[in-house]
Amino acid sequence: MSTMTSNGYLENLVQSWQRPPAASSNWLDQLRANAMESVGTLRMPTTGDEEWRFTDISPLNRLPYPAAYPTAELSLSAGEPYYLAETAHRLVFVDGQFAPELSSIGDTTGIVVGSLSSLMATHGEKIAHKLGNLAEYRNDIFTALNTAFLRDSACIIVPQHVSETAPIHLLFIANQKAVTSYPRCLVIAESGSKVRILEDYIGTEKDAYVTNTVVEMSLGSNAHVEHIRVQRDNQQAFHIGNCTVSLAPASQYHSISITLGAFISRYNLNILLNGEGAECTADGLALISDQQLADTHTFIDHVKPHGKSRQLHKCIVDGMAHGVFNGKIMVRPHAQQTDSSQLSRNLLLTNKARVDTKPQLEIFANDVKCAHGATVGQLDKEEIFYLQSRGLSDLAARNLLTYAFGGEVIDRISIPSLKKQLEGIVLARTQIS
């Protein structure tokens, strides 16, 4: 296959786009058309762009995969190993398309859960108000592409003071090779509501495909959202994810992002603390090997006073893999009494493994508490000796410490069966015998 320029790549991608009828007054058609217009003004990023300095996505230019249409058959059992006992609702999307036969929507008294197409008639207005408004498509090519190709979306609306205690599982299955899928998700947590979302990406294919996903979450005042994200695409896949979260006063957003899959992955998490006293945690673990590249970019924007943010991001990098973390924390002039801490810890398991970590603090208020730190290294010799002095062999000590390094993040996951699954994966990937 010949190397294609980034413009050639976009041109190819756009060919699979279908223009909505010119006279359509449908807001969704309008949104898609606007986004496509933005695509025309944007270009693919290169390592010359500051935000993409460490992540070379040029291999993506060689994969101008058309948008996926549901063609391939998927056996009903394909997603079963990933189903979780604790979930109240499960929405399954195959190649970006809602798959009702694989989904399981439980008791929806008081809560709205479903696909965009099924909710359009009943909740269109609420959805139209938020969809595409949080995720800025005018200056991000991937968000623009996702929005232009938006056909369906997972939609969750939790009305005021409703509390859904069991998690809602959004399972995105990539089931075709050589296609691009555009999963989308919208969460509206109205004031005083409470919800737990699991956003989960898997692949049934062994060959390359592209996932370009966008999530928007809007939290009303005092709302409480827990967001767990697990990216376990196959090792050939390209995964680009964007998530934008907006927090009203005294709301709380707690997120844990686990990155295991994809050949090249990039996750942008933007958290806007737009209300006074809003709080967030943004933890992450990337566990990668071979030639994988996993890039996590987070932006925590303290706009109003008395905000609080906590972040622990970890990378365990094996083989020749490359981990990237860029954590920007902005404290705007009015965001007095902000309390923020960020820690990036990185473990390199081989001499060829690589990590680039960049904490970025921009503080424009004068009465704030902000702490950040970053470490990159191999296992601590004192820790190994401590375990040896308790009878563990050198190897057992190393295995335990490597596992524990990831375990610290996994431990924070509140869904027991998922936690157990992930513990098993971390254990299998960190143990040398």
Nearest-approach distance from CB 408 to another protein, in angstroms: 4
Instruction: Please state, as a whole number, how many other Cβ atoms lie within 10 Å of the Cβ of residue 95.
Output: 25
The residue from 18, 76, 382, 428 that contacts another protein (CB under 8 A) is 382
Residue 396 binds to another protein (criterion: CB under 8 A): yes
Residue 425 tokens read as 């994966």
Q: Should residue 11 be labelled a site residue for another protein when binding is judged by CB under 8 A?
A: no
* Residue 20: DSSP 8-state: P
Does the protein bind another protein through residue 392 (CB under 8 A)? Answer: yes
Sole binder of another protein in the list 401, 415, 418, 422 (CB under 8 A) = 401
Answer yes or no whether residue 407 interacts with another protein by CB under 8 A: yes
Residue 389 is classified by DSSP as T
Task: Considering the complex, state which of residue 143 and residue 421 has its C-beta at the smaller distance from another protein.
Answer: 421
Q: Compute the distance between CA of residue 311 and CA of residue 341 in angstroms, rounded to an integer.
A: 6
Q: Which is nearer to another protein, 355 or 401 (CB)?
A: 401
* Gap between the Cα atoms of 173 and 184, Å rounded: 13
- Options 89-97, 199-207, 387-395, 413-421: segment touching another protein (CB under 8 A): 387-395
Interface with another protein, residue 433, by CB under 8 A: no
Among residues 250, 239, 327, 221, the alpha carbon closest in space to that of 282 is found at 327
Nearer to another protein, 276 or 423 (CB): 423
* Closest alpha carbon to 243 in 390, 382, 134: 134
Q: Does 406 bind another protein (CB under 8 A)?
A: yes
Q: How far is the CB of 373 from another protein (least distance, A)?
A: 14
CA angle 320, 324, 327 (to 5 degrees): 165
Q: Which two tokens stand for residue 386?
A: 């401590």
Spatial distance between the Cα atoms of 313 and 326, rounded to a whole number of angstroms: 10
For another protein, the closer of residues 141 and 286 by Cβ is 286
* Paired residues of 238 in beta bridges: 210, 264
Q: How far is the CB of 381 from another protein (least distance, A)?
A: 7
- Tell me whether residue 21 or residue 391 sits nearer to another protein (CB atom): 391
HSE at residue 277, side-chain half, CA atoms within 13 A, is 8
Comparing CB distances to another protein, the nearer of 170 and 384 is 384
Cα distance between residue 432 and residue 46, in whole Å: 37
For another protein, the closer CB: 330 or 384: 384
Of the ranges 54-62, 161-169, 238-246, 397-405, which one interacts with another protein (CB under 8 A)? 397-405
Nearest of 210, 348, 227, 192 to residue 298 by alpha carbon = 227
Applying CB under 8 A, among 139, 388, 414, 417 the residue interacting with another protein is 388
Using CB under 8 A as the criterion, which residues of the chain lie in contact with another protein when the complex forms?
380-383, 385-394, 396-397, 400-401, 403-408, 410-411
